[in-house]
């Protein structure tokens, strides 16, 4: 599915490759035992090792390696048996050793792929490599100078590099969403976008349709929202096409995306090219990833989003779209699954979850994990409606409270006296009273005006403050009118 831009003479296509950095969910840093907790006092989580004091040496975090292997396997990569860390050198105040430990020519994982779907069209995006590296610290630029917080310095990251297989901002977004889903399913990362735990650089170029060579690319750095990536790519591709149409040429450069103005801006280009002087870190021994270890990790990978989506369609009869929405996030999919297991119609539960629950949570800007409502409660709510204990309308009215308080629906409706009146003996006197008070409507109905029935049902509902079961009221009214 190519995204093409029309111009007078030529039609251009966009070519995008993404480099995604994801923070791993380990408790400690990649090369020392400092905590990776987010939001602590500046430099509270540092030690002589991650501050690069003289004499310190890196100690490799086994869990980080295991997570990186797990992520690479989940992305369909081959795992390198021999691997090592290399030093990538540059001076910056957020990089204590003035080199970043990364993996240059022997990445942990290679040759993977991700399936994406855009507008109903499926596509395979190749993943060139997945490697492990350490994060840098954070800088805070103030008028008086720059402040350095190295709490993030040394936190394990994986870098996932795609092949230039994406053809639009929309595809890039679909790729990122799928990537996020896979990573959160495997549990290797919390993928908290707001904490910057997933960051994306995009290499963007354009070329005339039919051309097989790549155009000159620009790199858009450090984006951390999916919509930002989509917009940035669309803008940048259009900008490049415009440059070419004007007879100019695209300059190879690094740009950044201005979210507010929705444009990409060239970053201050250094007078000289960077030379990272990669070389194998002599402080860390090259190491072997044993087959047994890889197999052990492989067996711990849970069902991934694509598999789960297919299962939801087959097992619960969900539509492709619904199954897709419900499986995009593991937490949501797990919630759904638990609710279904507690009983109730899977389709109804899916509807309630997607429309009402997510609708409410989105308004509050919350995730499914942030509500105290338990999956069994959603199941109970759907069952109460199915059994006619409450109406759908009542269901909708108690849901916000369930989401806020975590109370069971039955507790809420009982406390509020919202249980539907199904009892004939309780409804009959009310119906008799309504018939008596509305002779005109009764006459209209008997004259063949069916609409009058609706009015009478409404009156009964009003009398019962909405607690009567409408279907039951209907039946009893008809019976009374016919008699």
- Name the site residues for another protein (rule: CB under 8 A): 26-28, 33-35, 41-44, 46-48, 51-65, 84, 87, 89, 91-93, 96-99, 139-150, 268, 272, 275, 277, 279-287
List Cβ neighbours of 407 (8 Å cut-off, separation of 6 or more).
377, 401
Q: What is the closest distance, in whole angstroms, from the C-beta atom of residue 252 to another protein in the complex? A: 17
How, if at all, do strands 254-258 and 218-223 pair?
parallel
Q: What is the closest distance, in whole angstroms, from the C-beta atom of residue 195 to another protein in the complex? A: 18
Q: For residues 139 and 314, which CB has a smaller minimum distance to another protein in the complex?
A: 139
Q: For residues 222 and 438, which CB has a smaller minimum distance to another protein in the complex?
A: 222
Q: What is the closest distance, in whole angstroms, from the C-beta atom of residue 44 to another protein in the complex? A: 7
Q: What is the closest distance, in whole angstroms, from the C-beta atom of residue 46 to another protein in the complex? A: 7
Q: What is the closest distance, in whole angstroms, from the C-beta atom of residue 318 to another protein in the complex? A: 37
Q: For residues 44 and 320, which CB has a smaller minimum distance to another protein in the complex?
A: 44
Q: What is the closest distance, in whole angstroms, from the C-beta atom of residue 155 to another protein in the complex? A: 12
The helix (run of H) or strand (run of E) holding residue 138 is: strand 138-141
Q: Tokens 């279904």 sit at which residue?
A: 340
As a whole number of angstroms, the distance between CA 371 and CA 376 comes to 13
Q: In what order do the strands lie in the sheet with 279-280?
A: 99-102, 86-89, 279-280
Q: Tokens 């629950």 sit at which residue?
A: 357
Q: For residues 91 and 451, which CB has a smaller minimum distance to another protein in the complex?
A: 91
Q: For residues 209 and 266, which CB has a smaller minimum distance to another protein in the complex?
A: 266
Burial 433-469 (b: 16+ CB within 10 A, else e): ebbeebeebbebbeeeeeebbeebbebbbebbebbbb
Q: For residues 92 and 321, which CB has a smaller minimum distance to another protein in the complex?
A: 92
Q: For residues 39 and 210, which CB has a smaller minimum distance to another protein in the complex?
A: 39
Q: What is the closest distance, in whole angstroms, from the C-beta atom of residue 304 to another protein in the complex? A: 24
Both tokens assigned to 68: 């990186």
Both tokens assigned to 437: 């008070």
Q: What is the closest distance, in whole angstroms, from the C-beta atom of residue 224 to another protein in the complex? A: 17
The burial of 115, by beta-carbon neighbours within 10 Å (0-12 exposed, 13-18 middle, 19 or more buried), is given as: middle
Q: What is the closest distance, in whole angstroms, from the C-beta atom of residue 40 to another protein in the complex? A: 10
Residue length of the chain: 483
Q: For residues 144 and 247, which CB has a smaller minimum distance to another protein in the complex?
A: 144
Q: For residues 171 and 281, which CB has a smaller minimum distance to another protein in the complex?
A: 281
CB-CB neighbours of 211 under 10 Å: 13
Q: Long-range contact list for 85-90, CB < 8 A, 24+ apart?
A: 85/58, 85/132, 85/280, 85/281, 85/284, 86/278, 86/279, 86/280, 86/281, 87/277, 87/278, 87/279, 87/280, 87/281, 88/276, 88/277, 88/278, 89/276, 89/277, 89/278, 90/274, 90/276
């Amino acid at each position: 599915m190519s995204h093409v831009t029309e111009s007078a003479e030529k039609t251009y296509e966009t070519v995008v490759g993404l480099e995604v950095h994801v923070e791993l969910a380990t408790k400690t840093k990649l090369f020392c035992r400092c905590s990776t907790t987010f939001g602590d006092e500046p430099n509270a989580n540092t030690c002589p090792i991650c501050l690069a004091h003289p004499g310190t040496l890196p100690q490799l975090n086994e869990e980080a390696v295991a997570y990186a292997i797990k992520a690479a396997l989940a992305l369909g990569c081959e795992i390198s048996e021999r691997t090592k860390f290399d030093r990538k050198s540059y001076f910056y105040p957020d990089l204590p050793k003035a080199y970043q430990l990364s993996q240059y020519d022997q990445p942990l994982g290679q040759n993977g792929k991700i399936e994406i779907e855009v507008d109903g069209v499926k596509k395979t995006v190749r993943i060139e490599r997945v490697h492990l590296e350490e994060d840098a610290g954070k800088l805070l630029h103030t008028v008086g100078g720059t402040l350095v917080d190295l709490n993030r310095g040394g936190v394990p990251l994986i870098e996932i590099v795609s092949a230039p297989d994406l053809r639009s901002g929309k595809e890039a977004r679909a790729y990122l969403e799928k990537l996020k889903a896979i990573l959160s399913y495997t549990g290797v990362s919390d993928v908290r976008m707001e904490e910057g735990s997933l960051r994306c650089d995009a290499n963007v170029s354009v070329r005339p349709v039919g051309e097989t060579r790549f155009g000159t690319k620009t790199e858009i750095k450090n984006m951390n929202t999916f919509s930002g990536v989509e917009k940035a790519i669309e803008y940048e591709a259009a900008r490049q096409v415009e440059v070419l149409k004007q007879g100019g040429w695209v300059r190879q450069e690094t740009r950044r995306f201005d979210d507010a103005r929705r444009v990409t801006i060239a970053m201050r280009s250094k007078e000289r090219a960077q030379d990272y002087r990669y070389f194998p870190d002599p402080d860390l021994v090259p190491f072997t990833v044993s087959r047994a270890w890889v197999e052990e990790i492989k067996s711990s990978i849970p069902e991934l989003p694509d598999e789960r989506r297919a299962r939801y369609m087959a097992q619960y009869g969900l539509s492709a779209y619904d199954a897709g929405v419900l499986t995009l996030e593991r937490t949501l999919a797990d919630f759904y699954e638990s609710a279904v297991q507690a009983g109730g119609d899977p389709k109804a539960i899916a509807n309630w979850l997607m429309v009402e629950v997510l609708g409410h949570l989105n308004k509050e800007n919350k995730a499914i994990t942030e509500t105290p409502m338990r999956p069994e409660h959603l199941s109970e709510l759907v069952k109460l409606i199915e059994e006619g204990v409450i109406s759908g309308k009542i269901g909708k009215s108690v849901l916000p409270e369930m989401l806020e308080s975590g109370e069971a629906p039955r507790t809420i409706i009982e406390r509020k006296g919202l249980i539907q009146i199904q009892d004939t003996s309780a409804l009959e006197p009310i119906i008799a009273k309504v018939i008596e008070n509305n002779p005109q409507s009764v006459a209209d109905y008997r004259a063949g005006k069916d609409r009058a029935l609706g009015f009478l049902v409404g009156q009964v509902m009003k009398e019962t403050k909405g607690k009567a079961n409408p279907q039951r009221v209907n039946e009893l009214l008809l019976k009374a009118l016919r008699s």
